[in-house]
Amino acid sequence: MSLDRRRTVLCFVCDVSAIELPDRLRPITDETWSQVDVVQVRGKALSAGDLERAARRWVGRLRDLPTLVIVNDRVDVALAAGADGAHLGRSDLGIQRARELAGEEFILGASTHTREELLEAQDAGADYAGLGAFYPSPTKHDTTQLELQPAGLEDRVPGLTIPVLAIGGVTVERIPAVLEAPVVTGVAVGSAIQHASDPAQAIRDLRVELKRAASRAFQAVVFSLVMLASCTPQRDGEGVDDQEVPRPPDRPLMAPASVSVVERARLATDGRVEHPNDLAIDEEGNLYVLDLADPPRIIKYDSAGRFVRRMGDADVESEQLVGVLEFALAPWNTLLAVDRSQNKVLTYLTLGTFASSLDIKPGFALDVHPLPGFGEFYLHKWSPELSRAVVLHMRAPSDSLATTYEVQIPRDLSVRREARGVNFHTAVDRQGRLYVAFYDGYPVRILEPDGQTVGLVDLDRQPIPKSSDQIAREVEENLETLRERAPDIDEGILVEAAQPDSVLPIIEELIVDPLGRLWVRTNRSETVDATPFDVFNEAGDYLARVDVPGKVVRTAFDTAGVLYVITSYESDDDLAILAYEVRLEEPQSTSDNST
């Protein structure tokens, strides 16, 4: 468990003088608390027993939310209360000793004042650091105030990877200046929430300003890097002889002339498919299309494109699909469908017979990937216990869902829930290896079924920042949609939910073809008429850039390597499910050419 460095962290430092939650914080709703990443419980005047009981109240209040609970100063109290971690000052128990007592999953924060102390905290094993005080604090009078950007912190700290939270007198108005310090990745506030006239509105205002300030800071960094690159002179001889210059990491081994994409078939859906969202092909060439109609259903076509049957919209309520988002075809002739509305994985035999309904509790399912072993699959789900997304190796008996173990995504890749979903993609190859990639770029991590990382697939790609006009347009569009769907929700929450990401996603889908090659669908197209895929061999070498015609939204391979795609559409006339024959003439190795 850890704080997500990819998100600008909001930590609420709550001073408690009694066991019960402060009265003025009780009306705050779950939706608002979910915008707070961490609640740090601080009770300087309480006995250890009363602090433990107060912390336990907070743990109970936030149990079903992604918000973490951390106890100030006392590891023993945090462990007794079932909290997620502890924050330790310079005079408290050392980080290394605390880690020995509490274990690897326990979050440990450290108070710091200098660049050197930040690195010391990280080396000792801290998961994050509090840096301050940035301003005089009305809740702490025994602190040393730093300059806004203290000496040695005007620049990024090489080697520093843990989140750093600015603390001390931070308010909504001061957030833009605080986030100008390159080391700062979040804020810890106390009075700005606890003593606000409206604590709930204060939380919403803080989150909105954090998002805006982080976006401005990121765009400023990208602009600086672009300007720096444009002013860098070319060294003598650079780019003259490809044989003498190392191959750039984003240059494929295969020339464009070695790649061909030819349309092989176009499925005529005859009006049976309204909103295709996913597809799969079995060994006999039968095509299965997940249609998010009302109600959702899975539609089967034979290898000649003829309609065979529908599944999932039966009269029996327990066999119906309600809110399916993903599905997959297992090699054991079974379809697995993730139904997030019902919090279930429903299974159907390819003959059309309903097989089973498996409850996913606690948490909710996001995606599913069958494995070669009968009844085995990976389940990508949100875990409320861990406050992050996980991938579980599952077995599916007929009457229950048995977890064998969690596939351990490394701690630096942990993910927290955000308003628009969980930001990583997954795929599985024929050996049962799991591929994991975040939406915002490379590398793709390869894991064995036991969770061990065995490889990285990487390219030198940087995020593409959105223009200010594009961001403003997306905010207005999102707000309009949210207001229609949630007219009773507070405007502050809607404004926060409407804020788009400041960069375009790079990785949009992972898929493995029958030859074990990894296909990564990206947004790096130079034309609106094609969708680009980066293709890698099993060794992780970058083979080719493949441009598939149209705006592709979902893909699948058949056993012969034919690529099936669903393309984006504005009307039923634009709806297309196409099959392409893709040929990649891989270069021969030196050993192949030797005699």
Does position 190 have pLDDT exceeding 50, yes or no? yes
In this structure, are 175 and 313 located in the same domain? no
Work out whether the CA dihedral 415, 419, 421, 423 comes out positive or negative. negative
Q: Is the pTM of this model over 0.75?
A: no
Q: How many domains does the chain have?
A: 3
> What token pair was written down for 363?
């948490």
In this structure, are 479 and 564 located in the same domain? no
In this structure, are 423 and 476 located in the same domain? no
Among 187, 209, 224, the domain-final residue is 224
In this structure, are 456 and 471 located in the same domain? no
Average pLDDT, the chain: 78
Among 164, 195, 224, the domain-final residue is 224
Least confident range of 154-168, 228-242, 294-308, 341-355 = 228-242
Residue 377 forms part of a structural domain: yes
Interaxial angle between packed helices 95-102 and 115-124, expressed in degrees from 0 to 180 and rounded to the nearest 10:
30
For 447-500, the three-class secondary structure string (H helix, E strand, C coil) is ECCCCCEEEEECCCCCCEECCHHHHHHHHHHHHHHHHHHCCCCCHHHHHHHHCC
In this structure, are 69 and 161 located in the same domain? yes
pLDDT per residue as tens digits for the range 372-386: 777 788 888 776 666
In this structure, are 488 and 421 located in the same domain? no
| Cα–Cα dist 446/434, whole Å | 6
Give CA torsion, residues 370, 376, 380, 383, to 10 deg.
170
Q: Which domain holds residue 323?
A: 270-461+552-582
Residue 542 forms part of a structural domain: no
Residues of the chain with pLDDT > 70, as a percent, come to 74
Helix%, strand%, coil% for the chain, nearest 5 = 20, 35, 45
| Cα–Cα dist 438/507, whole Å | 7
In this structure, are 186 and 282 located in the same domain? no
Angle, alpha carbons 24-25-29 (nearest 5°): 130
Work out whether the CA dihedral 473, 474, 477, 482 comes out positive or negative. negative
In this structure, are 388 and 344 located in the same domain? yes
Residue 106 forms part of a structural domain: yes
In this structure, are 572 and 483 located in the same domain? no
Does position 572 have pLDDT exceeding 70, yes or no? no
pLDDT of residue 200: 92
Residue 547 forms part of a structural domain: no
Of the two residues 441 and 46, the one the predictor is more confident about is 46
Residue 68 forms part of a structural domain: yes
Residue 515 forms part of a structural domain: no
Does position 245 have pLDDT exceeding 50, yes or no? no
Phi, psi of 123 (to 5 degrees): -65, -30
Among 190, 208, 224, the domain-final residue is 224
> Hey, what amino acid is at 284?
E
> What token pair was written down for 167?
């603390």
pLDDT per residue as tens digits for the range 393-407: 887 654 444 445 566
pLDDT per residue as tens digits for the range 10-36: 999 999 988 888 888 999 988 889 889
In this structure, are 457 and 391 located in the same domain? yes
> What token pair was written down for 189?
């506030």
**Closest by alpha carbon to 40, among 55, 57, 53, 18?**
55
Of the two residues 248 and 194, the one the predictor is more confident about is 194
In this structure, are 209 and 326 located in the same domain? no
Residue 251 forms part of a structural domain: no
* CATH code of the domain containing 430: 2.120.10.30
Residue 34 forms part of a structural domain: yes
Does position 160 have pLDDT exceeding 60, yes or no? yes
In this structure, are 474 and 412 located in the same domain? no
Report the length, in residues, of the chain: 595
Residue 310 burial (10 A CB sphere; 0-12, 13-18, 19+): middle
pLDDT tier at 322, thresholds 50, 70, 90 = confident
pLDDT of residue 413: 42
* CATH code of the domain containing 53: 3.20.20.70
pLDDT tier at 222, thresholds 50, 70, 90 = very low
| Cα–Cα dist 469/256, whole Å | 34
| Cα–Cα dist 229/116, whole Å | 30
For 325-344, the three-class secondary structure string (H helix, E strand, C coil) is EEEEEECCCEEEEEECCCCE
pLDDT tier at 69, thresholds 50, 70, 90 = very high
